Amino acid sequence: MKTKTLRIGILTGGGDCSGLNAAIRAVAKSLMLNCSAEIIGINDGFLGLIEQRTRVISYADCSGILSLGGTILGTNNSANPFNYFGEDVSEKVMDYYVSLGLDGLVVIGGDGSLSIAHEMSKLGMNIVGIPKTIDNDLMGTDRTFGFDTAVSIVTDAIDRLRTTGQSHKRVMILETMGRYAGWIALHAGIAGGADVILVPEFAYDIDEVAKACQLRMGEQHYSLVVVAEGAKQVGGEFTIRETKEFSTDPIRLGGIANVLKMQLEEKMDAEIRATTLGHIQRGGSPTAFDRIFATNLGTYAASLVANKHFGSVVVLKNNQVCSTSLKYVANKSRLVTLQDPALASALSLGICFGNTELEAGLHSLNQAIPNSTD
Ligand code: F6P
CA-to-CA distance for 89 and 132, rounded, in angstroms? 25
Q: Are 340 and 190 in contact (CB under 8 A)?
A: no
Q: How far, in Å, CA of 212 to CA of 219, rounded?
A: 11
Shortest-distance Cα residue to atom 16 of ligand 1: 252
Q: Does domain 7-145+286-328 have CATH number 3.30.70.20?
A: no
Distance, CA of 183 to chain centre: 9
Residue nearest to atom 3 of ligand 1 (CA): 15
> How do 223-228 and 196-198 pair as beta strands?
parallel
Q: What pLDDT is attached to residue 65?
A: 98
The sign of the torsion formed by the CA atoms of 138, 142, 148, 150 equals positive
Residue 107 phi, psi (nearest 5): -105, 115
Task: Tell me which residue has its CA closest to atom 2 in ligand 1.
Answer: 15
User: Residue range 225-232: average pLDDT?
Assistant: 98
CA angle 89, 330, 119 (to 5 degrees): 25
Which pairing describes strands 312-317 and 320-325: parallel, antiparallel, or unpaired? antiparallel
pLDDT of 364 > 70? The answer is: no
Which whole number is the average pLDDT over 144-161? 98
299 lines ligand 1 (CB under 6 A): no
pLDDT score of 140 more than 70: yes
User: Ligand 1 pocket, 62 CB below 6 A?
Assistant: no
Based on the residue annotation, tell me whether 137 is a catalytic residue of this protein: no
Region of 274 please: left (phi>0), alpha (psi -120 to 50) or beta.
Answer: beta
pLDDT for 51-80, tens place per residue? 999 999 999 999 999 999 999 999 999 999
Q: Which of 58-72, 245-259, 356-370 has the lowest mean pLDDT?
A: 356-370
Q: Which atom of ligand 1 is nearest to the CA of 134?
A: 2
Q: Determine what percent of the chain is predicted with pLDDT higher than 70.
A: 96
- pLDDT confidence tier of residue 362, bands split at 50, 70 and 90: low
Specify the higher pLDDT residue, 121 or 368.
121
Which whole number is the average pLDDT over 145-157?
98
> Where does the chain hold its CATH 3.40.50.460 domain(s)?
148-282+337-367
pLDDT at 244: 84
Residues 6+ apart with CB under 8 A from 192: 154, 155, 157, 158, 159, 162, 224, 226
Query: In which band, very low, low, confident or very high, does the pLDDT at 1 lie, cut at 50, 70 and 90?
Result: low
User: Does 154 have pLDDT greater than 50?
Assistant: yes
Cα distance between residue 272 and residue 93, in whole Å: 51
Judge whether residue 181 has pLDDT over 60. yes
Map residue 200 onto helix, strand or coil: coil
User: In the predicted model, what is the mean pLDDT of residues 206-227?
Assistant: 98
Pocket test for ligand 1, best of 47, 134, 145 (most atoms within 8 A of CB): 134
Residues of the chain with CATH 3.40.50.450: 7-145+286-328
> What is the distance between the alpha carbons of residues 319 and 327, in angstroms, rounded to a whole number?
22
* Shortest-distance Cα residue to atom 10 of ligand 1: 15
**pLDDT at 216 (0 to 100):** 97
Between vectors from CA 140 to CA 136 and to CA 141, what angle results, nearest 5°? 45
User: 15 CB under 6 A from ligand 1?
Assistant: yes
Residues 15-24, mean pLDDT to the nearest whole number: 98
250 band by pLDDT with thresholds 50, 70 and 90:
confident
Whether the CB-CB separation of 310 and 121 falls below 8 Å is answered with: yes
Three-point CA angle 97, 101, 107, nearest 5°: 50
State if residue 185 touches ligand 1 by the CB under 6 angstroms criterion. Answer: no
Segment 79-91 shows an average pLDDT of 96
Q: Mean of the per-residue pLDDT values for the chain?
A: 95
pLDDT beyond 80 at 340: yes
Q: Quick one: CATH architecture of 148-282+337-367?
A: 3-Layer(aba) Sandwich (3.40)
From the CA of 190, how far away is ligand 1's center (Å)?
Answer: 22
Picking from 160-164, 189-193, 350-354, 368-372, which range would have the lowest pLDDT averaged per residue? 368-372
Query: What does the DSSP 8-state code read for residue 238?
Result: -
Q: Determine which one of 16, 44, 135, 290 is catalytic.
A: 135
Q: Which residue owns the Cα nearest ligand 1 atom 8? A: 179
Instruction: Grade residue 374 by pLDDT with cuts at 50, 70 and 90.
Output: very low
- For the Cβ of 282 lying below 6 angstroms from any atom of ligand 1, the answer is yes
**Sign of the CA dihedral running 179, 181, 183, 189:** positive
